[in-house]
Structure 1
Amino acid sequence: MSHPTRKGTSMAGYTHTKDEHLKRLRRIEGQIRGLHRMVDEDKYCIDILTQVSAATRALQGFSLVLLEEHLAGCVVDAAARGGPEADAKVREAAEAIARLVRS
């Protein structure tokens, strides 16, 4: 499904760091599998919560890097072109930041 503010976008802002992002996500995926294993093995609750906190921080760190790339690429490019697309990109970024702050 196409997003109205993504019209004309031929490449994601993170394309140049895609491999790095995928590597980071695989590590996070491993942390989640580790949590599953800890619960399955009836590990101590506090130890599980410590790992949940680490996985949460890893996801937040990933989100911040992706957001920074989006701002530096997609938003800056749209702002340089101006018009309604620029307004939409800024609004979209503000909404993404609000979601991150609430999470």
Structure 2
Amino acid sequence: MELEMADEELKSVVNRLRRAQGQIAGVIRMIEEGRDCEDVVTQLAAASRALDKAGFAIIATGLQRCIGEAGTAAGGDAERMRARLEKLFLSLA
């Protein structure tokens, strides 16, 4: 399954990933500087949420595409697609 996203969706996901990248760099810097544990964990949680949101956006886009394909696919193909999407969702849980 290829990743095909509209320009606006792609821009949103890339922005989330860049935000997470900056937050992870901040976490590394905070650890190297010996910053407070609570601050480090708070920043790490923010990075994790940004990654989760990007992942969910990618999966939701894939789901929209796959629903269209599943509607035209034979029963076995639709079931395989459903299983693949379920596996993707669970990978983010």
TM exceeds 0.5? yes
Q: Which amino acid aligns with 2:72?
A: R
Residue 77 of structure 1 pairs with residue 74 of structure 2: no
Task: Provide Cα deviations, 1:7-32, integer angstroms capped at 9, x if missing partner.
Answer: xxxx5232532233222211110010
Contact 1:14 1:69 in 2 (8 A): yes
Structure 2 stretches lacking a partner, 5+ long: none
Structure 1 stretches lacking a partner, 5+ long: 1-5
Q: Cα offset for 1:89?
A: 1.2
Aligned residue pair count: 91
The alignment yields a C-alpha RMSD, in angstroms, of: 1.6
Task: Provide Cα deviations, 1:46-91, integer angstroms capped at 9, x if missing partner.
Answer: 1101111111111111111111111111x11221212233222111
TM-score (norm 1): 0.77
Residue 20 of structure 1 pairs with residue 12 of structure 2: yes
Task: Please name the residue that 2:90 is paired with.
Answer: 98
Runs of 4+ with deviation above 6 angstroms: none
Matches within 5 A, 1:1-103: 6=1, 12-16=3-7, 17-73=9-65, 75-83=66-74, 84-101=76-93
Work out the CA distance in 1 between the residues paired with 2:50 and 2:18: 11
